[in-house]
Amino acid sequence: MTIGKIETDTLVVGAGQAGVAMSEHLTKLGVPHLVLERNRIAEGWRTQRWDSLVANGPTWHDRFPGLEFDDLDDDAFAPKDRVAAYFEAYADKFDAPIRTGVEVKKVTRNADRPGFTVDTSIGEIQANRVVAATGPFQHPAIPPIAPTDDCLHQIHSSEYRNPQQLPEGAVLVVGAGSSGVQIADELQRSGKTVYLSVGPHDRPPRAYRNRDFCWWLGVLGEWDAEAMKPGTEHVTIAVSGARGGHTVDFRKLAKQGLNLVGRTGTFANGKVTFEKDLAENIRNGDTNYLELLDAADAYIARNGLDLPEEPQARTLLPDPECMTNPTLELDLAEAGITTIIWATGFTTDYSWLDVNAFDDKGKPQHKRGVSTEPGVYFVGLPWLSRRGSTFIWGVWHDAKHIADHIATQRKYASYKDADQREAEKVSDIRDTKKKSIA
């Protein structure tokens, strides 16, 4: 199918949560727009997550303000397909102008007139503005240390579905953020021998004194933090909504039978090495956990809240063997490792966006999503305006700011000076006269 020439004021590329939020705010402000999605609404939630994944935050929190998950308890964690259905229902609610199955292939600024020429899989579009809502997690990032050994089955966490998908044998999961730790836990519970390579991480308590960590990070202003603390660029967050939600506790996981190792170093001659940093990483994670409990206690005291005390939350299990006597090298064959799962994050791809909005490393240049190329916007990126920017509840606020900016720019663009207004009036009168004569 092809289209004739389409013109729109604002083109939004991508209909994940970011694209849907953009469309809602543009609709509210009366900005004519079109959303193009190469697959389906919320495709990421449908096909780039493992089968048992549930949202990391409870339904009262991990949603947009305009719609509740009315079939789920407020404190439940929505399964991934339910999250996808939520965004589809949300888009239906305000009749979002979304066209699915259309890929944006190239965006270039027009040379001799305002706006952009957009080359899509069904033809050309002219747009005054373009919002890139193509997601923070587009391409699986696998570090160059990955071995080239054909005998090993290697996948990225975005390709993991369930334990049955993997060949017989032990698994090494590299990366212990929310994805890696949940996948490793699921594999170990299915009966597999699992090695989990643990780097620096934060691990907030799932809940403390009757409040979920999402609530704590909210009231303590942590979701609103505008910039990463220096030196925390490689610190992941390990949280889980699995099995009703629980605190990620590496000491407990070791006791359960997971083989914890430090950061993965190198692969050579059938062997893999690990850094000596496991104990330090776990202790730093514990510190982060305990600091949140302290901050929560202080908040409760300061505000005189009546929330039950929970002293047992401060009791940590003793250091497991993997901390006191860490494994620094493994012979992959001897350990029976047949699979490596790289839970090592994602990169973005803006090769389709041929505009002046990137630095020399290809990183988007913007202020709260308003890029250095007038008329080009980004939404959904990590730390776009704050820590919450990639998350469901955060992207909605960023989209609002961007839609406001677009509406304001439209106002400037439509301004006419006195001469222009007068000329327009005269032309209107002429048109009316012509019509009445006819």
Q: Which residues sit at the interface with ligand FAD, rule CB under 6 A?
A: 13-19, 36-39, 43-45, 49, 55-57, 62, 103-104, 133-137, 179, 352, 380, 390-392
DSSP tally for the chain: helices H, then strands E: 10, 24
As to burial, measured by CB atoms within 10 angstroms (0-12 exposed, 13-18 middle, 19+ buried), residue 430 is exposed
Nearest Cα to Cα of residue 83 among 104, 61, 101, 100: 61
Amino acid identity, position 287: T
Rounded to the nearest whole angstrom, what is the least distance from the CB of residue 18 to ligand FAD in the complex? 3
Residue closer to ligand FAD, measured from CB, 271 or 368 = 368
Residue closer to ligand FAD, measured from CB, 133 or 258 = 133
Residue closer to ligand FAD, measured from CB, 79 or 285 = 79
> In whole angstroms, what separates CA 202 from the centre of its chain?
17
Tell me if 185 sits within 8 A of 258, measured CB to CB: yes
Residue closer to ligand FAD, measured from CB, 98 or 278 = 98
Residue closer to ligand FAD, measured from CB, 39 or 409 = 39
Rounded to the nearest whole angstrom, what is the least distance from the CB of residue 56 to ligand FAD in the complex? 4
Q: Three-class SS string for 242-295? A: HHHCECCCHHHHHHHCCEEECCEEEEECCEEEECCCHHHHHHHHHHHHHHHHHH
Count the neighbouring beta carbons within 10 Å of the beta carbon of residue 418. 7
Strand partners, 13: 36, 132
Rounded to the nearest whole angstrom, what is the least distance from the CB of residue 32 to ligand FAD in the complex? 19
Residue nearest to ligand FAD (CB): 16
Rounded to the nearest whole angstrom, what is the least distance from the CB of residue 243 to ligand FAD in the complex? 15
Rounded to the nearest whole angstrom, what is the least distance from the CB of residue 124 to ligand FAD in the complex? 14
Residue closer to ligand FAD, measured from CB, 267 or 352 = 352
Ramachandran angles phi, psi of 4, nearest 5°: -75, -170
Rounded to the nearest whole angstrom, what is the least distance from the CB of residue 363 to ligand FAD in the complex? 17
Residue closer to ligand FAD, measured from CB, 272 or 395 = 395
DSSP 184: H
Segment holding 152, helix H or strand E:
none
Rounded to the nearest whole angstrom, what is the least distance from the CB of residue 192 to ligand FAD in the complex? 20
